[in-house]
Structure 1
Amino acid sequence: MLISAEARAVFVHVQKTGGVTVERHLRSQLPDAEVLRERHAPLTKALQRRPEIADFYVFGFVRNPWARLVSWWSMVDHWHRNGAGAPIVARQQARAAAGVVADDAAQDPMRGLTHQRNKFWQAVAGYGSFERFVLEGPAEWPRLRTPQVAMLSAPGREADFVGRTERLDTDFAAVCERLGVEPPPPGRRNSSGHGHYTDYYDDRTRQVVADLFAPDVERFGYRFGD
């Protein structure tokens, strides 16, 4: 979550919705931008801790829930398959010697070490398959079963603007105009390399996600295959 008292704005960072791109740009445009320690705090918790932001402009982004879970799984699986168990610095040195361009974790040893020590990342990597991730993960990790709409609402208060990852460039440009800052240039965001999300599902896992995120499907009109 990012707060700017000067812009009187709150960005609720829902995981796997393009929030890193949004956060990075806002920090470059808003000198007083403050990223809360609990980066993915829901609006309810933020209002409890910082009641002075109650009348700030609140915004965030959502994503097709089926695509979002595939993105989440693929991120951790990629990290795991690229040597999560090996010392990060040693892996960085080996890749450099081989002339391989390192991934983000290898470029930033501390980031990689943080992931090694993160129980959630370790647990997700331990599922071993996307099917187990979907069938078992939500029961064990609340963040995997929390509807996005719940992140962006609180008793008596909802986000003023909810954009979509699927049209991040135009929706974020609208937010920037509202805040009086320059939008980032339209461009290619991080490519996934994991193929189309629909290929990861069977009938059972598809329905599990539909049930878990029914509030998102109903509120934002998402459909499997969009």
Structure 2
Amino acid sequence: MSSAAPSPEVFRTRPGNRRRYTPDAQAEVDRLTAAGEESGWLSPLAYNLTISHSHRFVWYRVAKVATRTIRHHCETHGVSMDVDHAMRVRYPLTAFADYYTFAFVRDPLDRFVSAWHDKVVDHNYYDFDPATHERMQVVEEFARWTAAQDLSAVPGTDQHLTLQSRMIDLNRVDFVGRLETFDRDFAEVCERIGAPAVPTAPRNQTAPGGRDRRVSDELRELVAHMYRRDYQMFGYEVPA
């Protein structure tokens, strides 16, 4: 078995299924996995990735943080998404060592309330039974349910609730932008990858700034506890 580093261009997702690697890409992952963990070929953890070979970037996608807006911008301005919407995949570290890596994060309380509105109030994304779904219309109830989960587990926890710090390879990311300063930060990313820095209206109506700041003390405490690592890593002010 060859131990040569793979070409980054091998890694693509399927035209008919943008969440899965092509057979050739999956075979390469399998080859690297078989080489053993000690080889260090693959990232130790899995991430949700979008990769462009034409513009040489790796985007660590964080759900509920302008993902539709960024993807729409890429589609509109001819930026290839060769790995389009890969879910929970490991990637070869050496192959992408010279690719620009970025991610966007958001105030954890804003993100949690946005997820609740979208996935519980507007939809029954978590397939709750009718009585439970009715109870979950109260955001504190949903927060209590969420608090019982391991939010660092990937796979295992829904991507809309997972710790943002777990969805980014923090040892290798070049730039972490914020939703709160999206226009400025995304313009910096566009300049770096060679894409037009054209302001784009958010594709998700809850972003940015979609949360009413008048929230209960219980919700603040629950979110502060659940997302303590995100507050620490990204410097957001813990809700008080």
* Pairs aligned (count): 180
Aligned counterpart, 2:164: 148
1:137 is aligned, of 146, 155, 175, to 146
Report the Cα distance in structure 1 between the residues aligned to 2:174 and 2:84, rounded to whole angstroms: 20
Matched, 1:6 2:22: no
Matched, 1:62 2:77: no
Query: What runs of 5+ residues in structure 1 fail to find an aligned partner?
Result: 85-119
Q: Is the 8 A contact 1:198 1:225 kept in 2?
A: no
1:1-226 correspondence to structure 2 within 5 Å: 1-39=49-87, 41=88, 45-47=89-91, 52-80=95-123, 120-123=125-128, 126=133, 127-140=136-149, 142-143=157-158, 146-153=162-169, 157-185=171-199, 187=201, 190-192=204-206, 196-199=211-214, 201-224=215-238
Instruction: Compare the two structures and name the one with the higher helix fraction.
Output: 1
Q: Which structure is richer in relative contact order (CA contacts within 8 A, separation 6 or more)?
A: 1
Quickly say closer, same or farther: Cα 1:146–1:67, change in 2 above 3 A. same
* 1:202-225: CA deviation from partner (whole Å, max 9, x where unpaired): 222211211121121112221256
SS at match of 1:53: coil
Q: Is the 8 A contact 2:69 2:200 kept in 1?
A: no
Q: Is the 8 A contact 2:50 2:82 kept in 1?
A: yes
Report the RMSD for the aligned CA atoms in angstroms: 3.0
Aligned counterpart, 1:87: none
Q: Is the 8 A contact 1:47 1:54 kept in 2?
A: no
Quickly say closer, same or farther: Cα 1:195–1:186, change in 2 above 3 A. closer
Report the Cα distance in structure 2 between the residues aligned to 1:207 and 1:121, rounded to whole angstroms: 23
Return 171-180 or 23-32, whichever deviates more.
Answer: 23-32
Q: Is the 8 A contact 1:139 1:145 kept in 2?
A: no
Report the Cα distance in structure 1 between the residues aligned to 2:121 and 2:197, rounded to whole angstroms: 31
Normalising by structure 2, report the TM-score: 0.64
Return 133-142 or 62-71, whichever deviates more.
Answer: 133-142
Q: Percent identity?
A: 31
Query: What runs of 5+ residues in structure 2 fail to find an aligned partner?
Result: 1-48, 150-155
Normalising by structure 1, report the TM-score: 0.67
